[in-house]
Amino acid sequence: MIKIFRKVRRKLLSKNEFGKYLTYAIGEIILVVIGILIALQINNWNQREQMKKEELKTLVSLKESIRMNIAEFDYIYKAQVVRNESLQKAIFNNISNKPIGYLDSLINTNVRNYTFDPSTGIYSSIINSGKIELITNDSLKNRISRLYDRVSDYQESEDEITEYTRDHLEVYFIDNYIIDPAVLAGLKKRSEEEEQRDKAFYVKTFSSPKVNNMYVLLLNKMSDVMIKGKELQSEYATLVSELDDEIESKK
């Protein structure tokens, strides 16, 4: 193509047709400029398509990471709900007529701590690498950026409960618990005498003002976990739904 242009220019110059030569030269420049603009447009289009692909990969990775964390969170939060209900039963219900097995499980549930420990590898990698900026939906991007602030807030409430349980309930039961661990583990059956003794211990324990006060304070702290957990559960569900919609729109 370039050789053809050169031949045409030489032919025009040899015939001293400067007007036509100038017109042709300008036309040639315009063609070159148009060619450059088309090449830039194609390059920009390729870059946009590549960025769309990278954005889609980022969104899919985030969704899968969040889905895995939702499964763990649902398990932990369900256990926290059960524990909260168990604490209420221990201090607000009459337990004197409950079977000994029920009372054993009540104690075990009351002092058992649960901790939500989400996987943050993919999330941290996307944030630290700057790939979060590939997400063009600003509202979604902001929600993703704030997600683990919500998680940390929930975890702080869990940590507070764990610390309180360890420093108060566990210490109290270690100092005062008289029930044979082998019985609680199901390795040994109680005699009738042991059953009556243990039941009397449970009734006495849960009617104690000290234990009652500890349980009330723990329930107060548990209310934060219940509220923040419900909010986090809702945030997770909404976020996954938005990610699904955004991924679908990018395909």
Identify the CA nearest to 207 among candidates 107, 84, 93, 106: 93
CA pair distance 183, 162, nearest whole angstrom: 25
Counts for the chain of helices (H) and strands (E), in that order? 9, 0
Identify the CA nearest to 169 among candidates 231, 115, 212: 212
Identify the CA nearest to 74 among candidates 241, 233, 235: 233
Both tokens of residue 6? 């050169």
Averaged confidence pLDDT in the chain: 84
What Cα–Cα distance (Å) separates residue 235 from each residue in 33, 154, 201, 242?
Answer: 52, 12, 44, 10
Please tell me the predicted confidence (pLDDT) of residue 130. 83
Please tell me the predicted confidence (pLDDT) of residue 50. 80
Please state the length of the chain: 251
CA pair distance 38, 142, nearest whole angstrom: 36
Both tokens of residue 30? 């315009």
Say whether pLDDT at 242 is over 80.
Answer: yes
DSSP, res 96 = T
Virtual torsion, Cα 155, 158, 162, 165, nearest 10 deg: 160
CA pair distance 135, 214, nearest whole angstrom: 48
**pLDDT digits 0-9 by tens, 200-235:** 988 888 888 999 999 999 999 999 999 999 999 999
**pLDDT digits 0-9 by tens, 92-129:** 888 888 898 888 888 888 888 999 999 888 888 888 88
Handedness of CA 168, 172, 174, 180 (dihedral sign): negative
**pLDDT digits 0-9 by tens, 4-47:** 545 544 554 455 555 554 565 566 667 667 777 776 777 667 67
What Cα–Cα distance (Å) separates residue 210 from each residue in 55, 85, 148, 162?
Answer: 57, 20, 37, 19
Half-sphere exposure of 64 (CA within 13 A, CB side): 8
